[in-house]
Amino acid sequence: MKFIVQRDRLLRPLQMLASVVERRHTLPVLSHILFNVQEDQLQLTASDLEIELISRVHLEFGSGQAAGQFTLPAKKVLDIVKNLPDEAMVEFTVDGERVSLSAGRSRFTLSSLSAHEFPLLDESSEGLGLSLGQENLKYLFDRVSFSMAQQDVRHYLNGMLLEVEGNILRAVATDGHRIALASVPMNVEVKEKKQVILPRKGVQELTRLLNLDADIELTLTENHLRVFSDEFTFSSKLIEGKFPDYRRVIPEGNDKLIVVDRDLLKQALVRVVILSNEKYRGVRAEFSQNTLKIGANNPEQEEAEDYLEVQYNDEPLEVGFNASYLQDILSVLSPGPIRLLAKDATGSVLIQESEDADSCYVVMPMRL
């Protein structure tokens, strides 16, 4: 079997697939990419048994064209294609367990594993289908993903909740110390609410793939999330378990409103945290009449403090925070004024860009 493909058309799909390939694999074939030739199209598949990514490439026809499948080691074929001249035409020649790549005067012969050994996820696609812009899904991921837990024994926290309710798609993530929530409208309205938990790697890989300039089809089944676009098909297994009721965590009685400029607060935290405890990164936020004092100290008896002008007209209030949690939230908010809603020194603080913002954040206080 022979076929020809332009180097530039092949490089991006190989780069997309390479990060899915499992480096510490139990099956040797998982270090490979599955090549499937069908008429004038080459379909490339990578999998780690949890995530599967399929990319499609248009072929340049050559003599001896035929349909078929084979595998090639992902890292080696990517390195070869990456280092070929930009306009090169790459010819693949398959002969049993050997595959030759040639371009100009360059020729490479690689070992192939049986395509029948390559594990594919169940293709069942029955489930809830949604259509939305890639920019909407990327917005949700960018606004929320930092709050996912890492290797928590509560496995359902090691991912992101996606909730479809009415005509709203909502994303929620929490590690038990903070919670992030964002939502976007959809063009369709569903009758029944549905929730799924997408694992951390699924969120990370899908975020990389979204390129903002086209719509996607999203399918939620009992066990998988699937995303279909003109360029790729992405599938991920879901985390089993029940996500905590995030609505109970969002404080409703916080009546002390502080309005502060995001960039000024972000810069002050960067300065003050230099002398905080390296392990706990705790800072004190002292709110008084139109003033915010941020302070920190460490076991070496070193201290830092910074003052900001804010809008605050209530009784004095002091709250301790983990500076890293605050910085993560500030990094995803838009420049300009933000709202902090507090109740007392021991209650969670609600952070949002405006009263009717489509995203909000809750951070637990820290005892200093």
3-class secondary structure per residue, 312-365:
CCCCCEEEEEEHHHHHHHHHHCCCCEEEEEECCCCCCEEEECCCCCCEEEEECC
What is the Cα–Cα distance from 27 to 137, expressed in whole angstroms?
32
Q: What is the pLDDT of residue 124?
A: 67
Using pLDDT thresholds of 50, 70 and 90, give the confidence band for residue 63: very low
Q: What is the pLDDT of residue 34?
A: 98
pTM: 0.91
**Cβ neighbours of residue 368 closer than 8 Å, sequence gap 6 or more:** 282, 284, 320
Q: Regarding the domain delimited by 256-363, which CATH topology (the fold level of the hierarchy) does it fall under? A: DNA Polymerase III; Chain A, domain 2 (3.10.150)
Q: Give 118-167 pLDDT, tens digit per residue.
A: 999 887 667 899 999 999 999 999 999 999 999 999 999 999 999 999 99
CATH number for region 128-248: 3.10.150.10
Using pLDDT thresholds of 50, 70 and 90, give the confidence band for residue 46: very high
Domain extents for the chain?
2-117, 128-248, 256-363
User: Quick check: 198 pLDDT over 90?
Assistant: yes
Q: Do domains 2-117 and 256-363 have the same CATH topology?
A: yes
Domain 2-117 is of which CATH architecture?
Answer: Roll (3.10)
User: Quick check: 364 pLDDT over 50?
Assistant: yes
Using pLDDT thresholds of 50, 70 and 90, give the confidence band for residue 59: confident
Q: What is the pLDDT of residue 62?
A: 53
Q: Give 263-273 pLDDT, tens digit per residue.
A: 999 999 999 99
Q: What is the pLDDT of residue 331?
A: 97
